[in-house]
Chain A
Amino acid sequence: MSKAPRAFRLDDPDVVSLPQGETPAVTSGGVVVVPDEEPAAEVAGVAPRRRRMPWLGLLLSALGGLLLMGLGLALERMIAELFASHPAFGWLALGLAALAGLAFLGLLGREAAGVLRERRIEALRRRAAEARERKDDAAAEAVVRDLAALYARRPETASARAAIAALGDAIIDAPDRLAIAERELMTAMDREARRIVAEAARQVSLVTAVSPRAIVDVAFVLYASARLVRRIAALYGGRPGFLGFLRLSGHVLTHLTLTGSIAVGDGLLQQVMGLGLAARVSARLGEGVLNGLLTARVGLSAIAVCRPMPFAALEAPALVDVAASLFDRKAGEPAGAEAPGEAR
Chain B
Amino acid sequence: MPRVRPPSFLDDTVDALKSLADYAANAVRPTVRLGVTGLARSGKTVFTTALVHHLVNTTPMPVFRVSVEGRLRRARLADQPDDTVPRFPYEEHMASLAEPGRRWPESTRRIAELRVEIDYERAAGWRRGPATLALDIVDYPGEWLLDLALIETSYSEWSRDTLAGSHKPDRAPLAAAWHAHLAALGANEPAEEPAIARASELFKQYLAALRAGPEAVATTPPGRFLMPGDLDGSPALTFSPLVLAPDAPIVPGSVAAQMERRFEAYKAQVVRPFFREHFARLDRQIVLVDVLSALDAGPAALAELETALDRVLAAFRAGRNTLASSLFAPRIDKVLFAATKADHLHRRDHARLEAILRLLVERALRRTKGAGAAAETMALASVRATREVGVRDGAQTFAAIAGTPEAGERIGNQCFDGDSEAAIFPGELPDDPQAIFSGAVEAGSLRFPRFRPPRRIADAGGRLAALPHIRLDRALEFLIGDRLA
Contacts and interface: CB of A to CB of B under 8 A. Distances in A.
Mutual binders A and B: yes
Interface of A: 1-11, 15, 24, 27, 29, 31-36, 135, 137, 163, 166-167, 170-173, 176, 179-180, 183
Instruction: Give 4 closest A-B pairs by Cβ, nearest first.
Output: A5-B447, A7-B411, A10-B421, A5-B427
A26 to B, nearest CB: 12
A176 B423 contact: no
Contacts of A167: 62
A7 B422 contact: yes
B389 A5 contact: no
Interface stretch (B93-101, B248-256, B396-404): B396-404
Contacts of A36: 388-390, 399
Interface residues on B, range: 35 or more
Contacts of B427: 1, 3-5
B359 interface: no
Contacts of A137: 347
B441 interface: yes
A10 B424 contact: no
B193 to A, nearest CB: 52
Nearest to A15: B423
A3 B395 CA distance: 13
A172 B63 contact: yes
A4 B392 CA distance: 15
B414 A173 contact: no
A176 B474 contact: yes
Nearest to A167: B62
B422 A5 contact: no
A24 B392 contact: yes
A316 to B, nearest CB: 17
Contacts of B391: 6, 8, 31-34
B167 to A, nearest CB: 36
B414 A9 contact: yes
Nearest to B346: A36
Contact of A1 (B63, B347, B411, B428): B428
Contact of B423 (A8, A29, A163, A173): A8
Given A29-B394, A176-B474, A5 B388 contact: no
B442 A9 contact: no
A5 B446 CA distance: 6
Contacts of B405: 7
Interface of B: 60, 62-63, 65, 68-69, 347, 350-351, 387-394, 396, 398-400, 402, 405, 411-412, 414, 416, 420-428, 430, 440-442, 444-447, 449, 470-471, 474
B396 A5 contact: no
A176 B63 contact: yes
A173 B425 contact: no
23 contacts: A1-B441, A1-B442, A3-B396, A4-B412, A5-B412, A5-B444, A6-B400, A6-B424, A7-B411, A7-B422, A7-B423, A8-B393, A9-B414, A9-B422, A10-B402, A11-B420, A24-B392, A29-B394, A34-B390, A34-B391, A35-B388, A166-B60, A172-B471
Nearest to A9: B422
B471 A171 contact: yes
Nearest to A170: B62
A261 to B, nearest CB: 31
Output the residue of B391, B428, B446 with the most chain A CB within 10 A: B391
B425 A7 contact: yes
A157 to B, nearest CB: 16
B420 A173 contact: no
Contact of A6 (B69, B411, B420, B421): B411
Contacts of B440: 1
B412 A7 contact: yes
Contact of B63 (A15, A24, A180): A180
Output the residue of B60, B351, B423, B430 with the most chain A CB within 10 A: B423
A172 B378 CA distance: 12
Contacts of B471: 171-173
Output the residue of B69, B393, B416, B427 with the most chain A CB within 10 A: B393
Given A36-B389, A171-B470, A180-B68, A3 B398 contact: yes
Given A171-B470, A180-B62, A180-B63, A7 B414 contact: yes
Nearest to B378: A173
Contacts of B414: 7, 9
Contacts of A170: 62
B428 A6 contact: no
Contacts of B425: 3, 5-8
A34 B399 CA distance: 10
B99 to A, nearest CB: 19
A10 B420 contact: yes
A278 B363 CA distance: 57
A228 to B, nearest CB: 30
A137 B349 CA distance: 12
Given A4-B427, A5-B411, A5-B426, 13 more contacts: A3-B427, A6-B400, A7-B414, A8-B393, A8-B400, A8-B424, A8-B425, A31-B391, A32-B393, A35-B388, A173-B474, A179-B63, A180-B68
A151 B416 CA distance: 50
Contact of B394 (A7, A27, A35, A135): A27
Contacts of A172: 62-63, 471, 474
Contact of B350 (A7, A29, A33, A171): A171
A2 B350 contact: no
B343 to A, nearest CB: 9
Nearest to A29: B394
Contacts of B60: 166
A9 B418 CA distance: 12
Contacts of B388: 35-36
A3 B394 CA distance: 14
Nearest to B469: A171
Nearest to B65: A183
Contact of A33 (B68, B423, B445): B423
Nearest to B410: A7
Contacts of B421: 9-11
Contacts of A7: 405, 411-412, 414, 416, 422-425, 449
A166 B68 CA distance: 12
Contacts of B402: 10, 33
B387 A35 contact: yes
A5 B392 contact: no
B445 A5 contact: yes
Nearest to B393: A31
